[in-house]
Amino acid sequence: MNYEAIWKMLSDVITDLRKKGESIPADVRADLRSAKTMIEIFKVDKSHVENLIKIEEYLNKVESYVLPAAKRNFGDKYVEDLMGKIAEAESIIQTREQRPPQSFPVCIPKGKRWIRLKLSDEIPLEKVKMLSDELELNYRVEADGCIVLFGEDEKIKMFVKKVAVVLHEG
């Protein structure tokens, strides 16, 4: 099911209703925001199937308000078209290749800033190590070919500037 498409359709209908002067209850707006938040969480971590249940609950609550309100304001044809689009989005199976989620790095000391870089020919590991040592930043190479650097906020900013210069020159 394409939850993001359904969320977008419901959000657009609410926008249309507001343009018509319809007052949207706070709980409907909160459910719409909660659905979007849960969708974003599920994109990052698909291991918690219970999030799908919450997403569907929030979207169903919003839909139960939106459909009658849309019928009152826009008529049967508008609602029939909307329901057709929602049914189509519900039947779509996401076939797009998903990138593996990049989680927050673990074991970063409290109060330290961090940055994740994808190593490449333009930014080789040796250059990153040299710059991080020069700026007294800590780093950890991850299995996915990225490197996590962490340290003081100002030193991370200086590192980003130096990498930008290196990329611009190279």
Q: Which long-range contacts (CB under 8 A, 24 or more apart) does 5-13 make?
A: 5/89, 5/92, 6/59, 6/86, 6/89, 6/90, 7/32, 7/35, 7/36, 7/39, 7/59, 9/82, 9/85, 9/86, 9/89, 10/59, 10/62, 10/63, 10/66, 13/66, 13/70, 13/82
pLDDT for the residue 105? 67
Is the pTM higher than 0.75? The answer reads: no
52-94 pLDDT, tens digit per residue, is: 889 999 999 999 999 999 999 999 999 999 999 988 888 875 5
The pLDDT tens digits along the chain (170 residues) read 789 999 999 999 999 999 999 999 999 999 999 999 998 888 877 777 788 889 999 999 999 999 999 999 999 999 999 999 988 888 875 544 344 555 666 677 788 888 888 888 778 888 889 999 999 999 888 877 788 899 998 998 999 888 888 777 75
SS3 139: strand
